[in-house]
A and B are shown apart, each in its own frame.
Chain A
Amino acid sequence: MSRDLAGIAALAAALAIVPLAGPSSYVMALFNIVGLYTIVTLGLVLLGASGQVSLGQAAFYGIGAYTSALLARDLGWSPWIAMPCAVALVAAAAYAVGLPALRLADVFFVLATLGVGIIVNVLMVQLDWLTGGASGLRDIPALSIGGRRLATDRDYYYVIWAAVLASLVLARNLAAHRTGRALRAILGSEVGAAALGIDVTRYKMRVFVLSAAYAGAAGALYAHYIHFISPSPFALYASLFFLVMAVVGGLTSIWGGLFGAAAVTVLDQVVRAQLPRIFPRVGGEYQTAIYGVVLVLIMIFFPSGIVRGALDLRRLLRGGRPSAAPPGRPEAESAGGARA
């Protein structure tokens, strides 16, 4: 586990070097988006550690963005105050969603988060007086540090990636200690976990609220970075996108969040840029088809995500054996079942 900390330190060093190479503002912006998506995806990876899946992360991302934007723009709060308040509101919203939803079986929990995502997105469009409706909110205040207003993509690069590093450290710590063990035990067997005194529903709630808070923090940063928000980036498609990132990266490791977000975002950019050159007459819907193909290929060849897949590949090349099957629900348990 301390290898993770070494990895985070190496990442921090690499991130410090990137701006020195004089990248274009397009590359800086790409890094920033990957950073924001990494934070959202890390929340999903934490959630996945306990075997849960959410299709409502874009809603939490959006609530974080709208709340911080409104507090800073309309009430004149400092963004540095508005953002934590937005995260707190998102956490409270997730708690309110979790109370009824966590009573449901896993599949229905996913559907409940999906429903919440759709409702929140509809509200963003319909609550015109608050959200500006489909045309969104403009002129969201920028962040400033020590009286200096952050203006360039490179300025935000430092802020966003500092937040990513902090998110990684928190997630790694969480996974390494008592709560992380309890969550992985729940993934292994809810019955077994309960028999050792772990309050399964409570732990699921905690990690669900935490994953929403991650999404909310990323959303708040996004609003102050882009200065403009509208409902469309927070639609269901975005929730699916985040889930794809988490699955592609792998739900078993905090690195899944980073590599999943990076791989899918870069793929997205490459497809957007290259597809019209190869097939000049096809439309945007082919992008979706290409994601589909890539996702299927990854699931076939790296069922535990690319991070674990790469580790297995390295081990294979060294002549070892791959780590075992992907994590998932073990076979049905009969402790609650009928007779002995």
Chain B
Amino acid sequence: MTESLLALDGVTRRFGGVSALEDVSFAVAPAEIVAIIGPNGAGKTTLFNVVTGFLAPSAGTVRYRGRRITGLAPSRIAAAGVIRTFQNHVVFGEMTVLENVMVGCHRWTRSGLVEGALALPQVRREDREVADAARAVLDLVGLGPQAADPARDLPVGRQRLLEIARALAARPDVLLLDEAAAGLTAEETRHLVRLIGRLRDAGITFLVIEHNMDVVMEAADRVIVLDYGRKIAEGRPADVQRDPRVVAAYLGDDADAADRRGEGPRDGLAGVSP
């Protein structure tokens, strides 16, 4: 795994006495699609937060292109090409759909405050380029017709697509999608899976948290299973699906543990069966 793009080594994150992540290590190769699955509370989003710098790990390191990114500010990590979406839609509600995606282009544009205030020719040129790029991405996810709508007026599923469009506009090298298909219709989900495949062919690396097992089976090259913050399995989707530890984690052989965590029944994964 010397040529891994993203590598986690012994990543641990504790909240008080509770370990949200415990000694998690894995690596992601360029243009690979890796799915992170696991029951609610397994630490999936915490893992994303650590990778993207929103949380500092209690121990362990994250490397990107061989460089240690642990401890860098989220904006620095994003600027380096690691872009994420959020589980609980974070759209800029006061802006239009198009403007949201134009913000996504921030990473690869350069004009500053003074050039902007003076509206210098290169700023206007850059803006046209940004608007064109944003429209192209909106068409790609199927939000083209809603470009001029206020983002807050979009239904939940479409806000998810908007977040993905905005992340794509950033021209990421690694894209982390937190619950990529949640809230999407079956048709939108199929479209998204095809889109992810195409983007991977174009060289984008994916790390995807996903509950819909059909999506995981179809899209992922490799699956990493978390439970109680530990990596309990890793492998090809079909192998992982049959792994007894994974089945046990999902079906809850220890119902007491779920109670301890104050959760209801674990949300099952469609398609997982012993």
Which residues of A come within 8 Å of B, CB atoms?
170-171, 173-174, 176-182, 184-185, 187-189, 191-200, 206-207, 210, 252, 324, 327, 330, 333-336, 338-340
How many residues belonging to B are interface residues under a CB distance threshold of 8 Å? 58
In the complex, whether B194 has a CB less than 8 A from a CB of chain A is no
Residues of B within 8 A of A334 (CB): 88
CB of B45 within 8 A of CB of A339, answer yes
What are 13 A-B pairs at a CB distance below 8 A? A176-B116, A177-B126, A185-B95, A191-B54, A191-B90, A196-B167, A197-B107, A252-B94, A335-B90, A338-B15, A338-B20, A339-B20, A340-B44
Contacts A184-B99, A185-B92, A195-B52 supplied; 12 other A-B pairs, CB < 8 Å:
A173-B118, A173-B119, A176-B127, A177-B111, A178-B112, A178-B130, A181-B106, A188-B91, A188-B92, A188-B95, A194-B54, A340-B47
Among A191, A335, A336, residue most surrounded by chain B Cβ atoms (within 10 Å): A335
CA distance A252 to B94 in the complex (A): 10
B103 touches A182 (CB 8 A): yes
**Which of B74, B90, B123, B153 is A178 in contact with, Cβ under 8 Å?**
B123
Least distance between A94 CB and chain B CB atoms (Å): 14
Number of A-B residue pairs at CB separation under 8 A = 149
B78 interface residue, CB < 8 Å from A? yes
Stretch in B79-87, B233-241, B252-260 touching the partner: B79-87
Binding site for A on B (CB under 8 A): 15, 20, 40-47, 49, 52, 54-55, 73-76, 78-79, 83-84, 86-88, 90-95, 99-100, 102-104, 106-107, 109, 111-113, 115-119, 123, 126-127, 130, 150, 152-153, 166-167, 170, 209
- Given A178-B109, A178-B123, A327-B94, A195-B84 contact (CB < 8 Å): yes
By beta carbon, the residue of chain A nearest B88 is A334
Contact A185 to B116, CB < 8 A, known contacts A195-B52, A196-B170, A334-B88: no
The answer to whether A192 and B86 touch across the interface, beta carbons within 8 angstroms, is yes
* Residue numbers in B under 8 Å from A176 (CB-CB): 116, 119, 127
